[in-house]
Chains A and B, each alone.
Chain A
Amino acid sequence: MSTWTAATDPLRVDLTLNGNEVSLEAGVRWTLADAVRAHGLTGTHLGCEHGVCGACTVLLDGQPVRACLVLAPQASGRRVDTVEALGTPDELHPVQEALLEARGLQCGFCTPGFAVLAAWLREQRPDAGPAEVREVLSSNLCRCTGYGPIVKAVSGR
Protein backbone atom coordinates (compact mmCIF):
# COMPACT_ATOMS: atom_id res chain seq x y z
CA MET A 1 0.00 0.00 0.00
CA SER A 2 1.17 3.51 -0.76
CA THR A 3 2.22 5.53 2.26
CA TRP A 4 0.76 8.70 3.72
CA THR A 5 2.58 12.01 3.78
CA ALA A 6 1.45 14.00 6.83
CA ALA A 7 0.19 17.56 6.41
CA THR A 8 3.34 19.09 7.87
CA ASP A 9 5.87 16.81 6.17
CA PRO A 10 7.95 18.13 3.28
CA LEU A 11 7.55 16.42 -0.04
CA ARG A 12 9.73 16.10 -3.11
CA VAL A 13 8.21 16.40 -6.55
CA ASP A 14 10.39 15.10 -9.38
CA LEU A 15 9.30 16.39 -12.75
CA THR A 16 10.47 17.79 -16.08
CA LEU A 17 10.20 21.56 -15.76
CA ASN A 18 10.74 23.59 -18.93
CA GLY A 19 12.77 20.69 -20.32
CA ASN A 20 14.95 20.16 -17.25
CA GLU A 21 14.72 17.28 -14.80
CA VAL A 22 14.21 18.93 -11.43
CA SER A 23 13.29 17.91 -7.91
CA LEU A 24 11.08 20.52 -6.27
CA GLU A 25 10.63 20.84 -2.57
CA ALA A 26 6.98 21.34 -1.69
CA GLY A 27 4.47 21.02 1.10
CA VAL A 28 1.60 18.57 0.88
CA ARG A 29 -0.89 21.41 0.51
CA TRP A 30 1.08 23.33 -2.11
CA THR A 31 -0.34 23.74 -5.56
CA LEU A 32 1.79 23.33 -8.66
CA ALA A 33 1.76 27.14 -8.96
CA ASP A 34 3.19 27.47 -5.42
CA ALA A 35 5.92 24.95 -6.22
CA VAL A 36 7.13 26.49 -9.50
CA ARG A 37 7.12 29.97 -7.95
CA ALA A 38 9.13 28.76 -4.94
CA HIS A 39 11.58 27.30 -7.46
CA GLY A 40 12.12 30.84 -8.77
CA LEU A 41 9.83 30.70 -11.79
CA THR A 42 7.66 33.63 -10.77
CA GLY A 43 6.30 34.25 -14.26
CA THR A 44 3.38 32.00 -13.29
CA HIS A 45 1.09 34.46 -11.52
CA LEU A 46 -1.39 33.58 -8.82
CA GLY A 47 -4.52 35.70 -9.08
CA CYS A 48 -7.64 34.12 -7.63
CA GLU A 49 -6.08 30.84 -6.40
CA HIS A 50 -9.33 28.97 -7.02
CA GLY A 51 -9.43 28.32 -10.74
CA VAL A 52 -11.32 31.31 -12.05
CA CYS A 53 -8.82 33.80 -13.47
CA GLY A 54 -6.35 31.67 -15.44
CA ALA A 55 -3.29 33.84 -14.63
CA CYS A 56 -1.46 30.69 -13.46
CA THR A 57 -2.01 28.72 -16.69
CA VAL A 58 0.85 26.30 -17.45
CA LEU A 59 1.15 23.25 -19.69
CA LEU A 60 0.95 19.87 -17.98
CA ASP A 61 2.10 17.14 -20.38
CA GLY A 62 1.48 19.64 -23.14
CA GLN A 63 -2.06 20.59 -22.13
CA PRO A 64 -3.11 23.94 -20.66
CA VAL A 65 -4.18 23.67 -17.01
CA ARG A 66 -4.69 25.97 -14.07
CA ALA A 67 -1.58 25.50 -11.91
CA CYS A 68 -3.61 26.54 -8.82
CA LEU A 69 -5.93 23.56 -9.43
CA VAL A 70 -3.17 20.95 -9.57
CA LEU A 71 -1.72 19.80 -6.28
CA ALA A 72 2.09 19.92 -6.48
CA PRO A 73 2.53 16.15 -5.92
CA GLN A 74 0.08 15.48 -8.77
CA ALA A 75 2.73 16.82 -11.19
CA SER A 76 5.16 14.14 -10.07
CA GLY A 77 6.73 12.35 -13.04
CA ARG A 78 5.08 14.68 -15.52
CA ARG A 79 6.20 17.44 -17.86
CA VAL A 80 5.42 21.04 -16.91
CA ASP A 81 6.07 24.05 -19.11
CA THR A 82 5.67 27.57 -17.75
CA VAL A 83 5.70 30.98 -19.42
CA GLU A 84 9.49 31.05 -18.92
CA ALA A 85 9.75 28.34 -21.62
CA LEU A 86 7.99 30.48 -24.23
CA GLY A 87 10.59 33.14 -25.01
CA THR A 88 13.24 35.43 -23.54
CA PRO A 89 13.14 39.24 -23.27
CA ASP A 90 15.46 39.36 -26.28
CA GLU A 91 13.67 36.70 -28.24
CA LEU A 92 9.94 36.77 -27.60
CA HIS A 93 7.62 33.97 -28.63
CA PRO A 94 5.51 35.01 -31.67
CA VAL A 95 2.44 35.11 -29.41
CA GLN A 96 4.21 37.44 -26.96
CA GLU A 97 5.30 39.59 -29.91
CA ALA A 98 1.71 39.70 -31.15
CA LEU A 99 0.38 40.67 -27.70
CA LEU A 100 2.89 43.52 -27.59
CA GLU A 101 2.08 44.61 -31.13
CA ALA A 102 -1.71 44.60 -30.58
CA ARG A 103 -1.44 46.28 -27.15
CA GLY A 104 -2.86 43.12 -25.67
CA LEU A 105 -1.68 44.02 -22.16
CA GLN A 106 -1.60 46.91 -19.77
CA CYS A 107 -0.72 45.98 -16.19
CA GLY A 108 0.55 42.61 -17.40
CA PHE A 109 -0.62 40.52 -14.47
CA CYS A 110 -2.78 38.19 -16.56
CA THR A 111 -0.38 38.14 -19.53
CA PRO A 112 1.65 34.99 -18.66
CA GLY A 113 -1.54 32.94 -18.48
CA PHE A 114 -2.87 34.32 -21.75
CA ALA A 115 0.51 33.84 -23.44
CA VAL A 116 0.78 30.17 -22.40
CA LEU A 117 -2.83 29.47 -23.41
CA ALA A 118 -2.55 31.33 -26.73
CA ALA A 119 0.76 29.67 -27.65
CA TRP A 120 -0.82 26.25 -27.00
CA LEU A 121 -3.84 27.20 -29.10
CA ARG A 122 -1.69 28.41 -32.01
CA GLU A 123 0.46 25.26 -31.92
CA GLN A 124 -2.18 22.63 -31.28
CA ARG A 125 -5.15 24.09 -33.09
CA PRO A 126 -3.61 26.26 -35.85
CA ASP A 127 -6.88 26.16 -37.81
CA ALA A 128 -8.98 27.57 -34.97
CA GLY A 129 -11.33 30.23 -36.31
CA PRO A 130 -12.33 33.44 -34.53
CA ALA A 131 -15.15 31.75 -32.59
CA GLU A 132 -12.88 29.01 -31.26
CA VAL A 133 -10.16 31.52 -30.38
CA ARG A 134 -12.69 33.52 -28.36
CA GLU A 135 -14.05 30.38 -26.72
CA VAL A 136 -10.58 29.27 -25.63
CA LEU A 137 -9.53 32.74 -24.44
CA SER A 138 -12.78 33.12 -22.47
CA SER A 139 -11.06 30.86 -19.94
CA ASN A 140 -8.88 33.70 -18.63
CA LEU A 141 -9.64 37.08 -17.08
CA CYS A 142 -8.09 40.44 -17.93
CA ARG A 143 -9.22 43.54 -16.06
CA CYS A 144 -7.36 46.09 -18.23
CA THR A 145 -7.71 45.55 -21.94
CA GLY A 146 -11.36 44.68 -22.42
CA TYR A 147 -10.13 41.57 -24.31
CA GLY A 148 -10.42 43.05 -27.81
CA PRO A 149 -6.66 43.58 -28.24
CA ILE A 150 -5.91 40.11 -26.84
CA VAL A 151 -8.33 38.44 -29.25
CA LYS A 152 -6.81 40.49 -32.06
CA ALA A 153 -3.29 39.46 -31.08
CA VAL A 154 -4.17 35.77 -31.04
CA SER A 155 -6.53 35.57 -34.00
CA GLY A 156 -4.74 38.16 -36.12
CA ARG A 157 -7.95 40.12 -36.64
Chain B
Amino acid sequence: MRAPPFAYARADSLDDALMLLAEAGDEAKLLAGGQSLLPLLAFRVVRPTHLVDIDALGTLAGIQQVSDGLRIGALTRHDTLARADLTGGERLLAVAASHVGHVPIRMRGTIGGSVAHADPSAELPAALLALDAHVLVRSATGERTIRAAEMFVGPFTTALAPDEVLVAVIVPTVARSCRHGFGEFAVRSGDFALASVAVVVSVDGGNADRARIVLGGVDATPIRATGAEAVLTGSELTDEVIDEAAATAAAECDPAEDATTTAAYRRRLVARLVRDALAQARDKGSG
Protein backbone atom coordinates (compact mmCIF):
# COMPACT_ATOMS: atom_id res chain seq x y z
CA MET B 1 0.00 0.00 0.00
CA ARG B 2 1.14 3.55 -0.59
CA ALA B 3 2.32 5.50 2.43
CA PRO B 4 -0.07 7.88 4.20
CA PRO B 5 0.45 11.56 3.31
CA PHE B 6 3.48 13.46 4.60
CA ALA B 7 5.47 16.51 3.65
CA TYR B 8 9.01 15.72 2.52
CA ALA B 9 12.31 17.58 2.71
CA ARG B 10 15.79 16.41 1.86
CA ALA B 11 18.34 17.79 4.31
CA ASP B 12 21.64 18.96 2.83
CA SER B 13 23.52 19.05 6.14
CA LEU B 14 23.10 17.93 9.74
CA ASP B 15 22.27 21.51 10.78
CA ASP B 16 19.71 21.68 8.01
CA ALA B 17 18.16 18.42 9.26
CA LEU B 18 17.99 19.79 12.82
CA MET B 19 16.26 22.96 11.64
CA LEU B 20 13.78 21.02 9.52
CA LEU B 21 13.07 18.72 12.44
CA ALA B 22 12.54 21.63 14.84
CA GLU B 23 10.21 23.30 12.36
CA ALA B 24 8.21 20.14 11.65
CA GLY B 25 7.13 19.45 15.23
CA ASP B 26 6.60 16.29 17.26
CA GLU B 27 5.02 14.13 14.56
CA ALA B 28 8.00 14.30 12.18
CA LYS B 29 10.26 11.35 11.39
CA LEU B 30 13.80 11.11 10.12
CA LEU B 31 14.24 9.00 7.01
CA ALA B 32 17.63 7.36 6.51
CA GLY B 33 17.96 4.01 4.70
CA GLY B 34 14.22 3.50 5.12
CA GLN B 35 14.39 -0.27 5.59
CA SER B 36 12.23 -0.16 8.73
CA LEU B 37 10.33 3.10 8.24
CA LEU B 38 9.08 2.44 4.71
CA PRO B 39 7.44 -0.91 5.60
CA LEU B 40 5.79 0.78 8.61
CA LEU B 41 4.50 3.50 6.27
CA ALA B 42 3.31 0.90 3.75
CA PHE B 43 1.31 -0.78 6.51
CA ARG B 44 0.22 2.66 7.79
CA VAL B 45 1.40 1.68 11.26
CA VAL B 46 2.98 5.12 11.55
CA ARG B 47 1.60 8.37 10.13
CA PRO B 48 4.26 11.07 10.42
CA THR B 49 3.26 14.54 9.23
CA HIS B 50 6.77 15.26 7.91
CA LEU B 51 9.73 13.21 6.72
CA VAL B 52 13.23 14.71 6.96
CA ASP B 53 15.43 12.74 4.58
CA ILE B 54 19.02 12.45 5.87
CA ASP B 55 19.93 9.46 3.68
CA ALA B 56 22.40 11.41 1.53
CA LEU B 57 24.37 13.07 4.36
CA GLY B 58 27.77 11.51 3.68
CA THR B 59 29.32 13.19 6.72
CA LEU B 60 27.23 10.95 8.99
CA ALA B 61 28.62 7.75 7.44
CA GLY B 62 31.90 6.01 8.11
CA ILE B 63 33.90 4.20 10.77
CA GLN B 64 36.92 5.70 12.51
CA GLN B 65 39.06 5.21 15.61
CA VAL B 66 38.73 8.21 17.92
CA SER B 67 40.27 8.99 21.32
CA ASP B 68 37.54 7.28 23.35
CA GLY B 69 37.00 4.30 21.08
CA LEU B 70 35.48 3.32 17.78
CA ARG B 71 33.12 5.85 16.22
CA ILE B 72 30.55 4.56 13.76
CA GLY B 73 28.61 7.23 11.92
CA ALA B 74 24.84 6.83 12.15
CA LEU B 75 24.45 6.42 8.39
CA THR B 76 27.00 3.59 8.14
CA ARG B 77 25.26 0.84 6.17
CA HIS B 78 25.02 -2.67 7.59
CA ASP B 79 26.93 -4.03 4.59
CA THR B 80 29.80 -1.61 5.27
CA LEU B 81 29.89 -2.52 8.96
CA ALA B 82 29.72 -6.25 8.19
CA ARG B 83 32.82 -5.93 5.99
CA ALA B 84 34.75 -3.50 8.20
CA ASP B 85 38.21 -4.39 9.45
CA LEU B 86 37.46 -4.55 13.17
CA THR B 87 39.43 -6.30 15.88
CA GLY B 88 38.67 -8.07 19.17
CA GLY B 89 35.27 -7.41 20.70
CA GLU B 90 34.58 -4.67 18.14
CA ARG B 91 34.10 -7.45 15.62
CA LEU B 92 30.82 -8.27 17.36
CA LEU B 93 29.35 -5.32 15.46
CA ALA B 94 30.43 -6.72 12.11
CA VAL B 95 29.04 -10.15 12.93
CA ALA B 96 25.76 -8.68 14.20
CA ALA B 97 25.44 -6.46 11.11
CA SER B 98 25.96 -9.46 8.82
CA HIS B 99 22.87 -11.07 10.40
CA VAL B 100 20.52 -8.16 9.62
CA GLY B 101 17.90 -9.08 6.99
CA HIS B 102 19.19 -9.82 3.51
CA VAL B 103 21.86 -8.38 1.21
CA PRO B 104 19.64 -5.68 -0.40
CA ILE B 105 18.41 -4.64 3.07
CA ARG B 106 21.99 -4.39 4.35
CA MET B 107 22.98 -2.19 1.40
CA ARG B 108 20.50 0.48 2.56
CA GLY B 109 19.89 -0.07 6.27
CA THR B 110 21.93 2.01 8.72
CA ILE B 111 23.19 1.45 12.27
CA GLY B 112 21.55 4.70 13.41
CA GLY B 113 18.25 3.63 11.92
CA SER B 114 18.40 0.22 13.56
CA VAL B 115 19.19 1.73 16.96
CA ALA B 116 16.53 4.46 16.69
CA HIS B 117 13.93 1.93 15.50
CA ALA B 118 14.66 -0.25 18.56
CA ASP B 119 13.06 -3.48 17.43
CA PRO B 120 13.36 -5.81 20.48
CA SER B 121 14.75 -8.58 18.27
CA ALA B 122 17.19 -6.42 16.28
CA GLU B 123 20.84 -7.45 16.23
CA LEU B 124 22.67 -4.13 16.56
CA PRO B 125 20.91 -2.84 19.70
CA ALA B 126 21.83 -6.11 21.44
CA ALA B 127 25.43 -5.79 20.27
CA LEU B 128 25.60 -2.17 21.51
CA LEU B 129 24.37 -3.17 24.94
CA ALA B 130 26.88 -6.04 25.11
CA LEU B 131 29.70 -3.66 24.15
CA ASP B 132 28.60 -1.02 26.71
CA ALA B 133 28.50 1.43 23.81
CA HIS B 134 26.88 4.83 23.81
CA VAL B 135 25.25 6.96 21.17
CA LEU B 136 25.94 10.58 20.33
CA VAL B 137 22.83 12.67 19.64
CA ARG B 138 22.40 16.25 18.48
CA SER B 139 19.53 18.70 18.62
CA ALA B 140 19.27 22.36 17.67
CA THR B 141 20.20 23.20 21.26
CA GLY B 142 23.17 20.90 21.82
CA GLU B 143 24.72 17.49 21.99
CA ARG B 144 24.50 14.68 24.53
CA THR B 145 25.44 11.04 24.87
CA ILE B 146 23.12 8.21 25.86
CA ARG B 147 24.44 4.89 27.09
CA ALA B 148 23.05 1.79 25.38
CA ALA B 149 21.70 0.70 28.76
CA GLU B 150 19.52 3.85 28.91
CA MET B 151 18.75 4.08 25.19
CA PHE B 152 16.25 1.24 24.79
CA VAL B 153 13.14 2.07 26.79
CA GLY B 154 10.58 -0.34 25.33
CA PRO B 155 9.55 -1.99 22.08
CA PHE B 156 10.29 0.50 19.28
CA THR B 157 10.86 3.17 21.91
CA THR B 158 14.12 4.95 22.78
CA ALA B 159 15.33 7.79 24.97
CA LEU B 160 15.66 10.03 21.89
CA ALA B 161 13.64 13.25 21.99
CA PRO B 162 11.59 14.19 18.91
CA ASP B 163 14.01 16.98 17.96
CA GLU B 164 17.16 14.87 18.33
CA VAL B 165 19.24 13.19 15.63
CA LEU B 166 21.38 10.16 16.39
CA VAL B 167 24.76 11.12 14.98
CA ALA B 168 27.11 8.26 15.86
CA VAL B 169 27.66 5.15 17.93
CA ILE B 170 30.78 5.04 20.12
CA VAL B 171 32.22 1.71 21.24
CA PRO B 172 34.66 2.09 24.19
CA THR B 173 38.31 1.22 23.57
CA VAL B 174 38.23 -1.63 26.09
CA ALA B 175 36.12 -3.67 23.65
CA ARG B 176 39.16 -4.17 21.45
CA SER B 177 40.86 -6.39 24.05
CA CYS B 178 37.70 -8.43 24.72
CA ARG B 179 36.37 -11.58 23.14
CA HIS B 180 32.94 -11.87 21.58
CA GLY B 181 30.28 -14.29 20.44
CA PHE B 182 26.96 -13.92 18.64
CA GLY B 183 24.12 -16.16 17.57
CA GLU B 184 20.47 -15.98 16.65
CA PHE B 185 17.71 -18.28 15.58
CA ALA B 186 15.11 -17.39 12.96
CA VAL B 187 12.68 -19.72 11.22
CA ARG B 188 13.88 -18.60 7.77
CA SER B 189 17.15 -16.95 6.80
CA GLY B 190 16.77 -13.18 7.14
CA ASP B 191 13.64 -13.28 9.30
CA PHE B 192 13.43 -11.49 12.62
CA ALA B 193 15.09 -13.69 15.22
CA LEU B 194 12.98 -15.60 17.73
CA ALA B 195 15.93 -15.15 20.08
CA SER B 196 19.44 -13.78 19.76
CA VAL B 197 22.48 -13.59 22.02
CA ALA B 198 25.47 -11.25 22.01
CA VAL B 199 28.33 -11.74 24.46
CA VAL B 200 31.46 -9.76 25.25
CA VAL B 201 33.97 -11.26 27.68
CA SER B 202 37.25 -9.86 28.94
CA VAL B 203 39.62 -12.68 29.83
CA ASP B 204 42.39 -12.15 32.37
CA GLY B 205 44.93 -14.92 33.03
CA GLY B 206 42.65 -17.58 31.61
CA ASN B 207 39.63 -16.56 33.66
CA ALA B 208 36.63 -14.49 32.61
CA ASP B 209 37.12 -11.15 34.28
CA ARG B 210 34.06 -9.25 33.14
CA ALA B 211 31.27 -10.63 30.99
CA ARG B 212 28.24 -9.07 29.38
CA ILE B 213 25.60 -11.43 28.06
CA VAL B 214 22.74 -9.79 26.17
CA LEU B 215 19.55 -11.52 25.09
CA GLY B 216 17.49 -10.18 22.19
CA GLY B 217 13.93 -11.01 21.17
CA VAL B 218 12.88 -12.26 24.61
CA ASP B 219 11.76 -9.01 26.24
CA ALA B 220 10.60 -5.47 25.42
CA THR B 221 14.21 -4.42 24.83
CA PRO B 222 17.51 -6.28 24.61
CA ILE B 223 18.32 -7.30 28.20
CA ARG B 224 21.42 -8.35 30.12
CA ALA B 225 21.43 -11.79 31.71
CA THR B 226 23.13 -10.61 34.87
CA GLY B 227 22.79 -13.93 36.70
CA ALA B 228 24.57 -15.71 33.90
CA GLU B 229 27.22 -12.99 33.83
CA ALA B 230 27.84 -13.56 37.54
CA VAL B 231 28.40 -17.27 36.91
CA LEU B 232 31.27 -16.42 34.58
CA THR B 233 33.02 -13.77 36.64
CA GLY B 234 36.37 -15.05 37.90
CA SER B 235 35.84 -18.48 36.39
CA GLU B 236 37.66 -20.33 33.69
CA LEU B 237 35.45 -20.77 30.62
CA THR B 238 35.15 -24.54 30.87
CA ASP B 239 32.29 -26.42 29.22
CA GLU B 240 30.72 -26.87 32.67
CA VAL B 241 30.84 -23.15 33.50
CA ILE B 242 29.44 -22.29 30.09
CA ASP B 243 26.59 -24.79 30.52
CA GLU B 244 25.76 -23.34 33.92
CA ALA B 245 25.72 -19.79 32.53
CA ALA B 246 23.48 -20.91 29.67
CA ALA B 247 21.02 -22.58 32.03
CA THR B 248 21.03 -19.51 34.29
CA ALA B 249 20.30 -17.17 31.35
CA ALA B 250 17.41 -19.35 30.20
CA ALA B 251 15.96 -19.39 33.72
CA GLU B 252 16.29 -15.67 34.40
CA CYS B 253 14.70 -14.37 31.20
CA ASP B 254 10.93 -14.10 30.93
CA PRO B 255 10.00 -14.42 27.23
CA ALA B 256 6.46 -13.85 25.99
CA GLU B 257 4.33 -16.39 24.17
CA ASP B 258 3.13 -15.63 20.69
CA ALA B 259 1.07 -17.43 18.05
CA THR B 260 3.93 -19.65 16.91
CA THR B 261 6.43 -19.74 19.77
CA THR B 262 6.00 -20.72 23.40
CA ALA B 263 8.00 -19.14 26.21
CA ALA B 264 9.52 -22.54 26.99
CA TYR B 265 10.80 -22.86 23.43
CA ARG B 266 12.36 -19.41 23.56
CA ARG B 267 14.11 -20.35 26.82
CA ARG B 268 15.57 -23.43 25.16
CA LEU B 269 16.79 -21.28 22.29
CA VAL B 270 18.37 -18.88 24.78
CA ALA B 271 20.20 -21.73 26.55
CA ARG B 272 21.59 -23.07 23.30
CA LEU B 273 22.49 -19.66 21.89
CA VAL B 274 24.25 -18.53 25.10
CA ARG B 275 26.21 -21.77 25.20
CA ASP B 276 27.29 -21.45 21.56
CA ALA B 277 28.10 -17.72 21.84
CA LEU B 278 30.27 -18.28 24.94
CA ALA B 279 32.06 -21.19 23.27
CA GLN B 280 32.69 -18.92 20.28
CA ALA B 281 34.07 -16.23 22.57
CA ARG B 282 36.37 -18.74 24.23
CA ASP B 283 37.56 -20.56 21.10
CA LYS B 284 37.75 -17.96 18.36
CA GLY B 285 36.15 -14.74 19.53
CA SER B 286 39.27 -12.57 19.66
CA GLY B 287 39.67 -11.93 15.96
The stretch among A36-44, A59-67, A101-109 that forms the contact with chain B is A59-67
B117 CB to closest chain A CB (Å) equals: 13
Out of A34, A64, A71, A77, which one reaches B107, CB within 8 Å? A64
Secondary structure at the B interface, as helix, strand, loop or mixed, is mixed
**Across the two chains, which residue of chain A brings its CB closest to B38?**
A69
The stretch among A16-24, A90-98, A134-142, A149-157 that forms the contact with chain B is A134-142
B189 and A4 form a contact (CB under 8 A) = no
Excluding A29-B2, A66-B104, 8 further A-B contacts by CB distance (< 8 Å) are: A1-B16, A4-B8, A7-B7, A34-B2, A49-B42, A74-B55, A136-B102, A139-B104
Q: Which residues of B contact A71 (CB under 8 A)?
A: 8, 31, 34, 38, 51, 53
Interface centre among A6, A11, A51, A68 (most CB of B within 10 A): A51
Chain B residues proximal to chain A, CB less than 8 Å: 1-12, 16, 19-20, 23, 31, 34-35, 38-39, 42-43, 50-51, 53, 55-56, 79, 102-105, 107-108, 188-190
Interface presence of A88 (CB below 8 A): no
B3 and A29 form a contact (CB under 8 A) = yes
Closest 8 CB pairs of A and B: A139-B102, A7-B5, A50-B39, A50-B42, A138-B189, A63-B107, A29-B3, A4-B7
The contact string, 1 if C-beta is below 8 Å from chain B, for chain A 86-127, is: 000000000000000000000000000000010000000000
A7 and B6 form a contact (CB under 8 A) = yes
Chain A residues proximal to chain B, CB less than 8 Å: 1-8, 11, 28-31, 34, 49-51, 54, 57, 60, 63-66, 68-71, 73-74, 76-77, 117, 135-136, 138-139
In the complex, 21 of the A-B residue pairs with CB atoms within 8 angstroms, ordered by the A residue number, are A1-B19, A2-B12, A4-B8, A6-B7, A29-B5, A54-B104, A63-B104, A66-B104, A66-B105, A66-B108, A69-B34, A69-B38, A69-B105, A70-B38, A71-B53, A74-B31, A74-B56, A77-B56, A135-B189, A138-B189, A139-B105
A2 and B34 form a contact (CB under 8 A) = no
Contact status of A51 and B5, CB under 8 A, knowing A1-B16, A4-B50, A71-B53: no
Q: Which residues of A contact B1 (CB under 8 A)?
A: 49
A51 and B7 form a contact (CB under 8 A) = no
Interface centre among B5, B8, B190 (most CB of A within 10 A): B8
Out of B10, B105, B107, which one reaches A2, CB within 8 Å? B10
A74 CB to closest chain B CB (Å) equals: 5
Q: Which residues of A contact B104 (CB under 8 A)?
A: 54, 57, 63-66, 117, 139
Report Cα–Cα, A1/B9, bound state, in Å: 10
**Across the two chains, which residue of chain B brings its CB closest to A56?**
B104
B190 CB to closest chain A CB (Å) equals: 6
Q: Which residues of B contact A51 (CB under 8 A)?
A: 35, 38-39, 105
Report Cα–Cα, A31/B103, bound state, in Å: 19
**Across the two chains, which residue of chain A brings its CB closest to B42?**
A50
Report Cα–Cα, A65/B77, bound state, in Å: 12
Out of A63, A74, A77, A136, which one reaches B53, CB within 8 Å? A74
A2 and B103 form a contact (CB under 8 A) = no
A34 CB to closest chain B CB (Å) equals: 8
Contact status of A68 and B190, CB under 8 A, knowing A49-B1, A51-B105: no
**Across the two chains, which residue of chain A brings its CB closest to B98?**
A135
B121 CB to closest chain A CB (Å) equals: 16
Report Cα–Cα, A50/B39, bound state, in Å: 5
